[in-house]
């Protein structure tokens, strides 16, 4: 069927709403990822201003080629790679239909990145499941920016614990802030992978939407900058009874025996996690300004980015409904709830992970006291 996204029109397999993610006999197209792709285009526009010398873009597992097509429509020298001959043929047809110059190659993404004589300025990894098998090749061979999607949210957030440990060489925990747990596990793995190549990978825009985490990591080839990123890794100690949590920087965890807040021995530790900022505030503002009306998810992207831009840098978020349930009280309007925290002298902001999620520098006891009737 013929699909339009942004400035391009392309042929794709059945793109009915509600199509599930997965592998199939046909080249796969996921319409529910349009938000992801709209934000990607806005990021590419903003990054072209941030780093004018960046020109080349690799869509490492391209399928229909929609990412490469949309990048080419923005003036990027785009390459689309896939191991499926049908996908490569479809990309070439779609590029010709749009009168766009896209290099389509039937090649394994890792082999292409390692063996290519071209160093790609921007590498986009959007696989089915975990991006970890492609991370080494990306960070060893990209120049400026690595864009990463992870759809294996259950392993990332600790719901599939052993799988998360195997894939990401970290301990995830299934907490009430599981979307952020997944994102910070992903960022930790990417930062540690880049550091093996003496490269700093710092997130300048990250978001969790529906069933995936997405991050854009700006690269710096100085080993000292990679060391700085390693210094922003650490652990979170979480109480499963009172929901208190505490961050600890460093690669060696030193968890307390009992919860400092309630004395419970049901304390779990997650990490190593990325504990630093998940975005560059100014860059996110620039990305938001680069959204355009031809994007099908522009409204939702603007809402997500506005919240992300204002979000505090605390390493975990709270869910208001989860806290109020714990305290056996009804949940007030979110704006009133956050105003009460600010009136008590604390910083507070909404978090982009959900409508009832927020961030604050107050601990659980202080939140309860500040928002009591």
For residues 368 and 371, what is the distance between their CA atoms, to the nearest angstrom? 5
Altogether, the residues listed in the chain come to a count of: 373
Which pTM value belongs to this model?
0.95
Mean residue pLDDT across the chain: 94
Q: Which residue has the tokens 């046909």?
A: 26
As a CATH number, domain 318-370 is 3.30.56.70
Report residue 119's pLDDT band, with 50, 70 and 90 as the boundaries.
Answer: confident
Query: Domain 2-310 is classified in which CATH homologous superfamily?
Result: Vaccinia Virus protein VP39 (3.40.50.150)
Write down the pLDDT at residue 20.
37
pLDDT tens for 330-341 read: 999 999 999 999
Write down the pLDDT at residue 117.
76
Query: Is the pLDDT assigned to residue 79 strictly greater than 80?
Result: yes
For residues 183 and 252, what is the distance between their CA atoms, to the nearest angstrom? 21
Report residue 17's pLDDT band, with 50, 70 and 90 as the boundaries.
Answer: very low
Report residue 14's pLDDT band, with 50, 70 and 90 as the boundaries.
Answer: low
pLDDT tens for 254-313 read: 999 999 999 999 999 999 999 999 999 999 999 999 999 999 999 999 999 999 999 999
What is the radius of gyration, based on Cα positions, of the chain?
Answer: 21
Write down the pLDDT at residue 1.
82
Write down the pLDDT at residue 24.
40
Query: Is the pLDDT assigned to residue 316 strictly greater than 70?
Result: yes
Query: Is the pLDDT assigned to residue 147 strictly greater than 60?
Result: yes
Report residue 348's pLDDT band, with 50, 70 and 90 as the boundaries.
Answer: very high
Write down the pLDDT at residue 153.
94
- Residue 179 near residue 214 (C-beta atoms within 8 A): no
Q: Regarding beta strands 56-59 and 120-125, do their DSSP bridges make them parallel or antiparallel, or are they unpaired?
A: parallel
* Domain range list for the chain: 2-310, 318-370
Write down the pLDDT at residue 22.
37
Secondary structure tally for the chain: helices H, strands E = 14, 15
Over residues 219-227, mean pLDDT: 98
Over residues 114-118, mean pLDDT: 80
For residues 328 and 106, what is the distance between their CA atoms, to the nearest angstrom? 58
For residues 198 and 324, what is the distance between their CA atoms, to the nearest angstrom? 45
């Amino acid at each position: 069927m013929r699909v339009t996204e942004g400035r391009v029109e392309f042929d794709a397999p059945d793109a009915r709403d509600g199509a599930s993610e997965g592998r199939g006999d046909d080249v796969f197209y996921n319409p529910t990822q349009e938000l992801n792709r709209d934000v990607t285009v806005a990021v590419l526009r903003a990054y072209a201003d941030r780093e004018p010398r960046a020109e080349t873009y690799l869509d490492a597992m391209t399928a229909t080629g929609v990412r490469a097509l949309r990048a080419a429509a923005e003036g990027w020298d785009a390459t689309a790679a896939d191991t499926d001959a049908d996908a490569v043929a479809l990309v070439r047809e779609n590029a010709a239909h749009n009168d766009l110059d896209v290099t389509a190659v039937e090649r394994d993404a890792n082999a292409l990145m390692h063996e290519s004589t071209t160093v790609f300025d921007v590498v986009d990894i959007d696989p089915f499941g975990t991006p970890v098998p492609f991370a080494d090749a990306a960070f060893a061979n990209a120049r400026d920016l690595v864009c990463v999607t992870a759809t294996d949210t259950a392993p990332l957030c600790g719901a599939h614990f052993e799988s998360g440990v195997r894939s990401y060489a970290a301990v995830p925990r299934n907490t009430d802030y599981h979307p952020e747990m997944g994102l910070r596990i992903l960022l930790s793995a990417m930062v540690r992978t880049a550091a093996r190549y003496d490269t700093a990978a710092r997130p300048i825009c990250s978001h969790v939407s529906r069933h995936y985490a997405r991050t854009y990591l700006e690269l710096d080839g100085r080993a000292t900058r990679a060391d700085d990123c390693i210094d922003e890794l650490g652990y979170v100690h979480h109480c499963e009874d009172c929901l208190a949590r505490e961050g600890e920087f460093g690669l060696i965890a030193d968890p307390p025996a009992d919860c400092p807040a309630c004395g419970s021995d049901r304390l779990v530790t997650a990490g190593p996690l990325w504990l630093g900022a998940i975005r560059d505030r100014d860059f996110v503002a620039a990305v938001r300004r680069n959204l355009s009306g031809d994007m099908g998810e522009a409204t939702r992207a603007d809402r997500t980015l506005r919240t992300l831009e204002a979000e505090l840098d605390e390493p975990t978020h709270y869910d208001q409904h989860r806290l109020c349930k714990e305290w056996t009280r009804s949940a007030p309007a979110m704006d009133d709830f956050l105003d009460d925290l600010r009136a008590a002298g604390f910083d507070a902001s909404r978090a982009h992970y959900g409508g009832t999620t927020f961030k604050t520098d107050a601990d659980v006891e202080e939140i309860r006291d500040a928002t009591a009737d």
